[in-house]
Structure 1
């Protein structure tokens, strides 16, 4: 299995309103997020050029992220009802993009340089 990754950046605010009122993350605050898409394919499934997927084909994801998430309030951007934690953001991105990027195997989200959440489903839908 071969794996590629590409890193993307955006800035946004959120409120983790399911936390106790005394918790600092229960107040509105923002992060400079890092999102890493991981795509995988067996060697025999590489493109003729030898790629899992051409990195340039991820430009659509970058455009979507800029339009949908960058300088937005994640509570609104993700729709009501879902707490915009890094974990939920990773799942949400994966579920939105897995059909468009069938090689997508994981989404990693960082809110700070030392914290990461990774969503890697046990198996892909067919």
Structure 2
């Protein structure tokens, strides 16, 4: 299986209001997010790619226009946890690129959440 990955970065604030008031994530805070999409295919296309990286620019445009420097509670459907965002971005990517295998979302350099069907 051939696999490719590409990272996308954005900054945003959020607040997990469903958590107890003394939980640190219940307070308004922000992250420098990293979204990594992974595509996989058993064979390469005629150009020798799983998919041309240039085609993934659509995800950058989506992230930049909808999420970058925004308050996620105002623009994200559902709780803005890294897990929920991984599923959201996976669904968005899979609808465009059938080779989508997984999406990872990082809120900090040491933490990742991943959705992989």
For the aligned pair, the TM-score class normalised by the smaller chain equals over 0.9
Structure 1 CA distance, aligned partners of 2:114 and 2:60? 19
RMSD: 0.8
TM-score normalised by structure 1 residue count: 0.90
1:69 counterpart residue number? 67
Structure 2 CA distance, aligned partners of 1:101 and 1:76? 27
Structure 1 CA distance, aligned partners of 2:92 and 2:58? 13
The correspondence for 2:106, drawn from 104, 107, 110, is 110
Structure 1 CA distance, aligned partners of 2:73 and 2:92? 16
Alignment of 1:26-37 (within 5 A): 26-37=26-37
- Shift of residue 58 of structure 1? 0.6
Structure 1 CA distance, aligned partners of 2:62 and 2:79? 20
2:94 counterpart residue number? 98
TM-score normalised by structure 2 residue count: 0.97
1:15 counterpart residue number? 15
Structure 2 CA distance, aligned partners of 1:14 and 1:102? 30
Structure 1 CA distance, aligned partners of 2:65 and 2:12? 12
Stretches of structure 2 that go unaligned for 5 or more consecutive residues are none
- Shift of residue 29 of structure 1? 0.4
Structure 2 CA distance, aligned partners of 1:98 and 1:53? 13
Once the two structures are superposed, residues 29-49 of structure 1 have per-residue CA deviations (whole angstroms, 9 ceiling, x without a partner) of 000000000000002xx1111
- Shift of residue 74 of structure 1? 1.1
